[in-house]
Amino acid sequence: MSSGELLVVIGPPAVGKMTVGRTITAASDFRLFHNHHVIEPLAEVFGFGHPGFERLKEAWRREVVEEAAASGMRLVATFVWGVDLPEDADYVRRFIAPYADRGLRVSFVELYAGLETRLVRNTGADRVAAKPSKSDLEWSQRHVVEMDRERMNTDPDRPSPADVVLAEHRHLRLDNTDLSPEEVAARVLAWLAG
């Protein structure tokens, strides 16, 4: 087993986090823990917004990351981060702590693409198959548009609470509008190796 490493892929909904994560894991010894591995079973039982959904979502994520770090696993994790929200920055610090506290490398890859690109990606069959909660495409499209009102990408010209966390780790911003998942994965793996 390796010495352990956490690669966190962040960005807005439908930017390609899960797809890129899958492509990275197919080309390396990383394992994938994407956001909907936890969301889907809990949404099926409790529905979104239920206190049990929120409590268990955080607990399951924490347990998986703690076990992966303790096992020395190379893990790709994906999620959406509201970069202007101090509570989201605090959550990310807690999320990565099992790796960071062990002195294991934590890196962030931030994907960004415009809303029109993400709306097209949002309807992909692979995305819907892996994320049944997105199968109501009309709702899902509205959700992507509504979420676009919040800032989910950093901007070098607009500091945010996320910048403080990201400054403590390796951070790569990638515009993946015109890049295939294979091209993104190759760039990410080369960057990690550098």
Question: Going from the N-terminus, what domains does the chain have, and what CATH number goes with each?
Answer: 5-187 (3.40.50.300)
Query: Alpha carbon of 188 to those of 102, 170, 174: distances in Å?
Result: 23, 11, 9
pLDDT at 53 over 80: yes
Nearest to 112 by CA among 34, 178, 170: 178
C-alpha atoms less than 13 angstroms from C-alpha of 64 in its C-beta half-sphere: 20
pLDDT band at 85 (very low <50, low <70, confident <90, very high): very high
Q: What average pLDDT does the structure give for the chain?
A: 90
CB of 35 closer than 8 Å to CB of 144: no
% of the chain at pLDDT higher than 90: 68
Amino acid, res. 165? V
pTM: 0.90
* Mean pLDDT of the 149-156 span: 94
* Mean pLDDT of the 168-181 span: 97
pLDDT band at 45 (very low <50, low <70, confident <90, very high): confident
Q: What angle do CA 36, 134, 28 make, to 5 degrees?
A: 40
pLDDT at 129 over 80: no
pLDDT at 2 over 60: no
* Mean pLDDT of the 114-136 span: 76
What's phi and psi for 156, nearest 5 deg? -55, -25
CB of 11 closer than 8 Å to CB of 110: yes
